[in-house]
Structure 1
């Protein structure tokens, strides 16, 4: 009997401490809420060192990538339960001109101003770093010392990208989008994509690289091109990053490759010596932004991943010729071995659902901020934050 007591106690302890699974959804940006904007797209979310949740997006008038776009932010100080009113957080003073490559496209209004591809990083010292672009041609950096309530004057960092022209003659640039990361060393790492602007929407062909800062955003440097554009790796672009337990940085890359899977590459420092990119068979690629994040809570060190888990019209995981890859079925995957396998795949949104990002609050609540709608499309009718716990994710 004495031998059984410890086991019974352990079982009771697990039972008493286990939380009930829960899932809650709340619309943060919805088409029609503000007549100034008719599309909300490119969601991002991060939890600051002080515990505030910051959720941001591109608010578009006209809808397209080159339309009139502002960057809006909402804050929560109660784990994503209630939120502040939207605040515009990017403004570059002075005259602005459209990217010349946008002028080659039809129906581009030269009077509209495009702020694009916002990226936020929650520094462990409490600072919130932010990068964004103007007209897919200029890049800027600013910071907040009060959890996103106010922001410093933006500083242009476009010259950082000049070093990459030695390997790729880019004319169009974009940071992220999504949240990005600070390494254990303190280095800030931001994935970027670059294009010569000669192809579709002036965004193709494209390559993926990173820029980084070792002095908390004061200066930035360009890393190496991580994923070039080849016959196998077609137009790598919107990319997310995570630091692995061994200190390597892993990029998870969107592309238009025929394998229809996410591309993976790693670097010892987040900037150089990138490994040969490989496709992850478990991560479907409907050509859409994804989210990735470390879950380090309650003694568990996991990696979470979100994107539309769908290849419409496909058989055995491969789409038929001529079939589109619809953005729907945003799902959350879980890996307990640093992204080598993804045994958990939980459907979050059954139906049209698009871009997504992930965050974890200080009490372990998981947040997925994503686009959804009632009809298929690239952006949906608004942006929703889903709050759930690990128990819901692991529940069969």
Structure 2
């Protein structure tokens, strides 16, 4: 149906196993997936689809792989252990047990220069290690990294942020760029810093900020971008447009309204044109927001971006796919992917010349996963 200048479509179907499709057509498969807490998605350079999850009781990160575009999957296997830390991600006392005092599954980034897949752990501040795979997610090795503080003396974390990208254009071609956020808290008299999530009655929500981490040496050393100009933001996403501009999209924690968006003209070092988006609302509850996900389709003629988030303002249900054909300037098409619980989502796009080509993969931390293509988003048969 047509309403207010926006095309609405709906996905019809139940939770099934992924299907084999004999010819290219509109595809939308949704199936149940055991996601205990957080998940992440990536598509390796050889087209292997990688689904990551956090196993808190076993205190480890796990991955399973699909080499046929998401039709069949391996069993989960360990990437590496979670690490004991002092942070309490639920510093308002909401959660107990395995949520407290251990690194969380953070960012996943594919280095498109080398094919390496990197998995990061984090707390309220980063931990200086990652797990790296040099064989498309089959085996993993832990390695130490260095993260420099930002200009304000804070350290960003990639917890609950979207995957990183490899810059394809300009003088920083090959740079790794990850969306990140800073959990700002009080600064003590001795200069030490307290990182806060929801602690102290959320009084620091308005001071926290989003930014990005970037590496020009293959992930060994990471530097901070300038803070995103709109403070109170978190859980960002980003992608690179065809002209090299970085599109940035962030959640707001302390006010009603829509997503905060902006651009970088220098491969993620500084931000311009920061504003509230005219169309993409921040997610329920309306004063608090919800993480969304952003991916760009591999199209050299148009800047085709997809955005996923809950479609309702009263609760985190009805995950909806929004489509922009102009790099996020407008979002004329949206389609409900799945009615019912959805919450946080992550997306990844298939690789050309592999069984994953043309597919968009989405995982929800409400125990389901989907794969679909652009024809489905556009309402084609």
- Normalising by structure 2, we get a TM-score of 0.77
Pick closer, same or farther for the CA change 1:289–1:237 going to 2, 3 Å. same
- What pairs with 1:246-395 in structure 2 (closer than 5 Å)? 246-286=243-283, 287-296=289-298, 301-312=303-314, 326-362=315-351, 363-371=357-365, 380=366, 382=367, 384-395=368-379
Q: CA RMSD in A?
A: 2.9
Cα distance between partner residues in 1 of 2:376 and 2:217:
39
Cα deviation for residue 250 of structure 1 reads 1.6
Q: Deviations over 1:342-364 (max 9, x none)?
A: 11100011122111112222320
Cα deviation for residue 224 of structure 1 reads 1.1
> Who is 2:80 aligned against?
90
- Normalising by structure 1, we get a TM-score of 0.75
Cα deviation for residue 335 of structure 1 reads 0.9
Cα distance between partner residues in 2 of 1:141 and 1:310:
36
Matched position secondary structure for 1:41: coil
Pick closer, same or farther for the CA change 1:394–1:106 going to 2, 3 Å. closer
Cα distance between partner residues in 2 of 1:247 and 1:111:
38
Cα distance between partner residues in 2 of 1:23 and 1:111:
34
Matched position secondary structure for 1:366: strand
> Who is 2:4 aligned against?
none
> Who is 1:11 aligned against?
none
**Native 8 Å contact 1:71 1:115 kept in 2:** no
> Who is 1:64 aligned against?
none
**Native 8 Å contact 1:210 1:270 kept in 2:** no
Cα distance between partner residues in 2 of 1:295 and 1:103:
38
Decide which of 72, 89, 99 is 2:62's aligned counterpart: 72
> Who is 2:118 aligned against?
129
> Who is 1:376 aligned against?
none
- What pairs with 1:13-52 in structure 2 (closer than 5 Å)? 19-29=24-34, 40-52=36-48
Matched position secondary structure for 1:212: strand
> Who is 2:181 aligned against?
193
Any unmatched runs of 5+ in structure 1?
Answer: 1-17, 31-39, 62-67, 230-234, 313-325, 372-379
Number of corresponding residues: 330
Cα distance between partner residues in 1 of 2:251 and 2:313:
14
Matched position secondary structure for 2:227: strand
Q: Deviations over 1:233-256 (max 9, x none)?
A: xx2110111011211112110112
> Who is 1:377 aligned against?
none
Name the structure where helix makes up a greater proportion of residues: 1
Cα distance between partner residues in 1 of 2:78 and 2:335:
33
Decide which of 209, 212, 216 is 2:211's aligned counterpart: 209
Decide which of 135, 141, 144 is 2:133's aligned counterpart: 144
Decide which of 179, 183, 186 is 2:167's aligned counterpart: 183
Cα distance between partner residues in 1 of 2:233 and 2:369:
27
Matched position secondary structure for 1:252: strand
